Amino acid sequence: MGIVVAVLLCVVSSAAYAAAAVVQENVAHRPLRALLHLPAWWSAIALNAVGAVLHVGALASGPLSLVQPFGVLTLVMAVPVAAVVARRAVTRIEWHGIAMTVLGLGGILVLAGSAGPGALTASQLVGLLLVTAIVLVVIGGSGASGLWAALAGGIAFGVSSALTQTVVVHLSAGLGFVTVLTGAAIGVLSCAGLLFAQRSYRDGLGAPLAVGTLANPVAAAVIGMVLLGERITGGPLGLVIAGCSALTAALGVALLTRARSPLSTTSPSVRI
């Protein structure tokens, strides 16, 4: 029953994230000060919050190896929804890009072995947060937009998702330093990911959302393998398949990069 609940929560969470992405992309040309007074933008914030709550519920109901792959549904849902809002058909390139990205990402995640629910120690948490801060400043600093901002947002959300598991594990033992610090870090990273994602949608929805969707579980998988003892299953053959899957996903992102959504009214001179 827990697995069924986790799957249902994942599907609804992805739908909320997809709807939020479409709304954010539609107002991405506006500066941050204008967005703060825009009801549509706050509705996107609310949808992201709903998606996040449902994602946490899914993590509490099912294993990480099951929950994370469902994140690709955000991409699958958002691109067709954006096309409907723009009153156009989804192009063949977009369908091919979606299919290749989902197929490649699915191949990577299926091969990601799990050592069971794990939690970061205090030293691991501090080290991870320092590395994440440096990476986000390098990738997303100086007003970066487009795919670089999408990459930074995906990493921020991926690290935040990985930290959520630590909170879920430690909450059973009550509030402590690690739990409080991790909760605060999740809040900061979620806000950073939201702003990076908002900035990335200025050039359209498909490619930035694909990059963010790919970077999110990859970042979580790296944390799992480096810090939590998770491994790629299948030995050398598994590594080869994972490499081919990564290449397939990259080609899918390249296709979506070519298929810019006409929803965007981006002006490159506008900065958040």
Query: In the numeric block, which tokens belong to residue 121?
Result: 């120690």
> Is the distance from CB of 98 to CB of 254 less than 8 angstroms?
no
- For the entire predicted model, the pTM comes to 0.70
Confidence of residue 129 (pLDDT cuts 50, 70, 90): very high
The residues near 216 (Cβ < 8 Å, ≥ 6 apart) are 71, 154, 155, 157, 158, 161
Rounded to whole angstroms, the Cα distance separating 85 from 200 reads 19
Strand partners, 232: 112
Are 40 and 23 in contact by the 8 Å Cβ rule? The answer is yes
Mean model confidence pLDDT for the chain = 79
130 pLDDT higher than 90: yes
Lowest mean pLDDT among 51-55, 171-175, 191-195, 250-254: 171-175
CB 28 within 8 A of CB 198: yes
**What pLDDT, on the 0 to 100 scale, is given for residue 155?**
94
Distance CA 86, CA 264 (A): 10
Digit-coded pLDDT (tens) for 65-82: 667 667 777 877 888 888
**pLDDT at residue 171, as a whole number:** 74
pLDDT in tens, 174-225: 667 778 888 899 999 989 998 898 888 877 777 788 788 778 878 877 887 7
- What residues have CB less than 8 Å from 168, skipping those under 6 apart? 56, 59, 60, 117
The dihedral through the CA atoms of 197, 203, 208, 209 has a sign that is positive
Average pLDDT of 148-153?
90
Contact assessment for residue 150 and residue 209, using Cβ atoms and an 8 Å cutoff? yes
pLDDT score of 251:
84
